[in-house]
Chains A and B, each alone.
Chain A
Amino acid sequence: MKLILRYVRPYRRLILTVMAIKLLGTGTDLLMPYVLEHLLDHVIPAADSAWPVVAWSGVMFLLTWITRVLNVSANRKSVRVARESTFAVRRDLFHTALNLSGSQMDQIGLPSLISRMTSDTYNVQNFIRMIQTMGIRAPIMLLGGIAITLTMDTGLALILCIMAPVMIVLVCFVSWKGIPLFNEVQRRMDMLVRRMRESITGIRVVRALGKEPYEKQRYGEANARMMRQEVKASVIMSLPGPIVTLFLNVGLTLVVLIGARRVNDGHTAPGVILAFLTYFNMILMGVMGLNRIFMMMSKANASANRIGEVIDLPEELTPLPAEQLAEPQEEGMLIFDHVSFNYDADTPGEAHGQFLGEERQKCLDDISFRVKKGGSLGVIGATGSGKTSIINLLMRFYDPQQGHVFVDGKDVRAYERDELHRKFGVVFQNDVIFADTIRENVTFGREITERKMIRAAADAMAGQFIEGYEDAYEHKAAIRGANFSGGQKQRLLITRALAAEPEILIMDDASSALDYRTDAKLRKAIREHHGNATTVVIAQRISSILSMDEIIVLHEGKMIGRGSHAELLASCAEYRDIYRTQMNEEEVV
């Protein structure tokens, strides 16, 4: 709820206006039966001509018109508040999500993040929209109804005064019980969506293995669980309605009974009983409105909390003050200084159902290397040996637990994030292509001239196939780049990395889908046209790294070899093995 309050605060004036207008509107609405009763009980019996009747009807017409104008205007203003505040919630949530640190992202998980971004914001939006008007109308109808009946006949109204609190307590109690039920509904919805997403992303595997029935059944289970929970929550929440109606109607019967007695005793007029019937209805609607408000509130509250959890995450990996930084090193140097790192070092035990691999050995264990400006580093090692983690630290998606990382001679923690990242051109392992034009996928909003882009494409061996399209650089990539082959994708990604002529070029398994010929040409082009860039290449293919100034060999997070190709051949048995397996005896001639 705090989150919602925070986001509607800028519109408090507008909200106050809405409420004021709604108050007036509800007031005039409530006045209608009062005027009618007056007309029936006093004006008509006493009238000797039609004029008073016409005049009072005129009052009713006027009230009708005013009520509509007021309510429409209040409703529309409330829509505006909902629109603007939800817009802001979504904007900030997206912004936060986009800027989460690596470990924060791991913690929340993508599917959950997306559902917070979508269905949770819808719930909040609906709530903000409805609460402003219903939040006024329902209590006013309730209290106003009671107040008016009190002025009409205090004795009879007392019946109400006894019943109203009982009903309200009842409604509150049920809603209070209902909130956790709705939280659970939301969780199960998350699960359902996750299953669906998994089946969509894995559609080829599902089809290939003929697992459609299994997927249907798996999804079906989640679907059934979701339904059961929803029925449970909804049934409990639908209890108050009939009970409240019953209460009020019992009250009504009492009013008739006692009212008849009071009429008999001359304390009240029969018209009053009639008016009571009308006002009872109004009070009933007020209570039902409150019921609905509680229901929405329980849903919205669950959602707001989920949103708040993300929005209120502290910004991690911000620049540190100078005194906490490591001593600057020689300009242009890329340095790992005794770096040790683990992904989940500071995540609490079972707090999140993602990946509970606490007990793993360190991802990186005491890694050190130095690369000069314009120099090159190759990283090779078995699957899961920590190669990608080096990049994660270099670009500060994570901070290491021990040791220091330097880029351009400065501790990476000294940089503003974008300032640091602008030095890089990077291709991640299985990097993404967005559903946009090739141009946008390459330039990414950076100021890159046409000439530079074309040059980069040529260097990345992508120019030819791009220009093969009629619309060349305006050619649109399909979702996840599905209209490109694996190799075409990688060449586009490399184009992206080269386009801004970065100071540091990073390629993580970036050419694994390229044939050797293309790969060799690519290396040559990079050497010739991007020789000034400090280059870090991670690869499985030894040919991709063997010409690097220095190569490090990783094994289960430890550095087991460091040196040039020739040195490693002499000193590192594992490296020699890799080399042998890749270069068959005969070709090593």
Chain B
Amino acid sequence: MARDTVMKKPKDTRGTLRRMLKYLGPWRAVIAGVIVLSLLSNLLNLWGPSLAGSAIREAAAGPGRVNFDAVKHDAGLMLLCYLSSALLGFLISLIMTVVSKRVARRMRQDVFDKLMRLPVGYFDRHQAGDIISRVSYDIDVISTSMATDIVQILSSLVTVVGSLVMMVSISLPLSALTLVTVPVSVAYTVYMRKKTQPRYAKRSKCYGTMNGFVEEMLSGQKTILAYAYENRVDERFGGINRDAADAFSDAEHYGVTLGPTMTAINNLGLSLIALLGGILFLNGRIDLGRISSFVLYSRKFAGPINAVAEVFNELFSALAASERVFSLLDEEEESADVPDARLLTNVRGDVRAEHVTFGYEPGKTILHDLNLEAPAGKLTAIVGPTGAGKTTIINLLMRFYDPDSGVIRIDGQEIRTAVRRSVRGAYAMVLQDTWVFQGTIFENIAYGKEDATMDEVVAAAKAARIHPFIMRLPQGYDTVISEDGGNISKGQKQLLTIARAMLYDAPMLILDEATSNVDTATEREIQKAMRELMKQKTCFVIAHRLSTIENADQILVLRDGDVVEQGTHRQLMDRKGFYHQLYAAQFE
């Protein structure tokens, strides 16, 4: 693996940490409490060995000379000490569990809320699997680390400082020796951070890529099988799988040395203490009991440092994970409404586009100079060859995108200066790509109208000609359906979404190939119902079956992003122009 791909410039670790701390902000009182508790708990933990030490000193008086009252006194205190420290320990881990899970929940919610604010185009550029892996994997890593690591670090600090004080009080030279090991540990940890951080980041990224690939391929499983493409896909997955496996082991290869190395550094310290202690003893500078308690404390001292090393390893991987989460949270959102944006209310439905140009990518203009006028209450059909920009117009009307230049107005108000939600709320929309979510049929139809009654839903379903099908289902309107679930056909899904739009009461209506998967007889019937619905409403209809739009009040014929003809069906047919050609082609 090329070195430069792995050793990327370290990201802004401090910034990431600061943002993590921000998440803990609301909990600062609780965390302060935890700090106090863990201080207490650790002091108790420190006091324990010192009591044990004093008991042992009493015992060291030798056979027959042990002062049992003192020993019992010490033992009693020890018991008390350990009991309360256990209680505190449980309390602390309880609190931190709750805090970390709540923070994780907050982060998951923030990610989701962010998704709801991102421009629609973002989802055309990012695999759902990759986005989801940030919620399912990365945030999990963060919360696991938070639950244990913070407490670990806190308690370690207390223990380290406390032990150090005790150690110094026992023997200054020995303490100095122990302290030598600290910089070594720190230096090593820093070194490892540099090594592992980019590798953990890469691991997270590889997992994201893998999730995206899996999702994409399994969604297209039938097509893959139909073209006997599965071996090639398997092979490609092999590569991605291998990358993920390598990224894992590459990161862990370094990660797993941390623990043993820390242990080694501590053991080194211990050996040095034994050596120096022995020499000091031989020179009569220290007694054996003191060496013993010193060893005890240096163990206490070393323990957390050891643990901290492991904790840091987890922290690194949590940091890498949070960078991925934050990078999503930093994505550019849909532009905010302009400062004094107006709410569109009582929309009559006069829609005008004036000199609109637009392209999805800079330099690739799709709409060159679009002008259109859709009077209130009229049906405007948009036709044109494939790729002429019909769906793009819908994207602009709905403000999924904003035009590069030119303006679009509703009732004379430029929609850019209106509250975006009120613009979208003015339209009911049915798209060719149907979407149903896991829920009952009732919920799916009532999606656009929160307080819909059963009667309204049934009426909409009847109008969309899906009612008989629903009634044949075992649980009727309470039948649970889902996007990927079994045997509800594309056309039936489309009918459901039409019912949904019929129930959603908006002054304007957009139908983008809304009935493309529906048979024509049903389509005709739906249209009758629609006509009722569309009375007094401005409607935009995109359809290829020209027979379905003949009754439109006006037809816009689009070609390469420009309106080339405009008029009623009659007028356009008489003109014998492009529309006529399109129309005639139906019967070739």
Contact = CB atoms under 8 A, between A and B. Distances in A.
Do A and B assemble together?
yes
Given A266-B63, A428-B223, A211 B447 contact: yes
Given A53-B279, A444-B229, A491-B386, A208 B291 contact: no
A483 interface: yes
A203 B64 CA distance: 83
B226 A395 contact: yes
Contacts of A241: 89-90, 93
B455 interface: no
A516 B586 contact: yes
Contact of A40 (B222, B245, B288, B475): B288
B251 to A, nearest CB: 9
Contacts of A131: none
B268 A242 contact: no
A315 interface: no
Interface stretch (B155-163, B350-358, B407-415, B519-527): B519-527
Interface in B296-336: 296, 299, 303
Nearest to A493: B223
A67 B113 contact: no
Contacts of A581: 520-521, 524, 547
Nearest to B390: A485
B7 to A, nearest CB: 20
A39 B271 CA distance: 10
B568 interface: no
B282 A512 contact: no
Interface string A405-431: 000000000000110011010101111
A249 B278 contact: no
Contacts of A534: none
B555 to A, nearest CB: 13
Contacts of B58: 260
Given A227-B102, A273-B59, A581-B524, A216 B518 contact: no
Q: Which of A78, A356, A496, A583: most chain B CB closer than 10 A?
A: A356
A390 B117 CA distance: 42
A87 interface: yes
B194 to A, nearest CB: 18
A198 interface: yes
A68 B261 contact: yes
B517 A512 contact: yes
A578 B282 contact: no
Interface in B112-145: 112-113, 115-117, 120, 123-129, 131-133, 135-137, 140
A513 B390 CA distance: 12
A212 interface: yes
A181 B97 CA distance: 15
B585 A250 contact: no
A87 B244 CA distance: 9
A581 B526 CA distance: 13
A368 interface: no
Contacts of B225: 98-99, 397, 417, 421
B90 A357 contact: no
B237 A91 contact: yes
Given A193-B132, A206-B116, A100 B221 contact: yes
A577 B519 CA distance: 12
A84 B486 CA distance: 35
Contacts of B582: 515-517
B56 A359 contact: no
Q: Which of A91, A238, A270, A380: most chain B CB closer than 10 A?
A: A270
A306 to B, nearest CB: 14
Q: Which of B52, B230, B274, B398: most chain A CB closer than 10 A?
A: B274
A83 interface: yes
Contact of A357 (B131, B218, B474): B474
Contacts of B186: none
Contacts of B469: 384
A211 B428 CA distance: 12
A566 B69 CA distance: 114
Given A60-B270, A211-B448, A249-B86, 6 more contacts: A98-B221, A444-B227, A444-B229, A479-B127, A518-B385, A520-B586
- Nearest first, the 3 closest Cβ-Cβ pairs linking A and B are A487-B386, A383-B491, A53-B278
